[in-house]
Amino acid sequence: MTSVRDLFTNKKDKIVIWQTPNIPLVAWLAFFMLAKLLHTGNWHTWAGYLSKVSLLVWSILEIGWGASYFRRSLGLLVLSVTFYTIIQTIA
């Protein structure tokens, strides 16, 4: 059974709660802010699309190569929520 400590430890048995954000997460934040600043038009639409794609890439990277079980679970949660919002947008 996995303990709470195991959720936050990496392969080197060090506790990992915070990491420096990687490129897809920084890209998501930049495109998200750009989409919020631009209220209409093509730039707003494309910034929204690129923010979702960046978040999908980040979540897939976290699921596959996250430093701890917590990070992998967070990646799965973000992937699920992002897919849900994309489906709601399309429908």
Centroid of chain to Cα 83: 11
**What sign results for the dihedral spanned by CA atoms 84, 86, 88, 91?**
negative
- Side chain identity at residue 60, one-letter code: I
Domain limits, the chain: 4-90
Helices (H), 1-91: 4-7, 23-37, 42-65, 69-90
Question: Please, are residues 44 and 38 in contact by the beta-carbon 8 Å criterion?
Answer: yes
Q: pTM score, two decimals?
A: 0.85
What is the pLDDT tens value at each position of the chain, 91 positions in all? 567 777 788 878 888 777 778 999 999 999 999 999 998 899 999 999 999 999 999 999 999 998 888 899 999 999 999 999 999 988 8
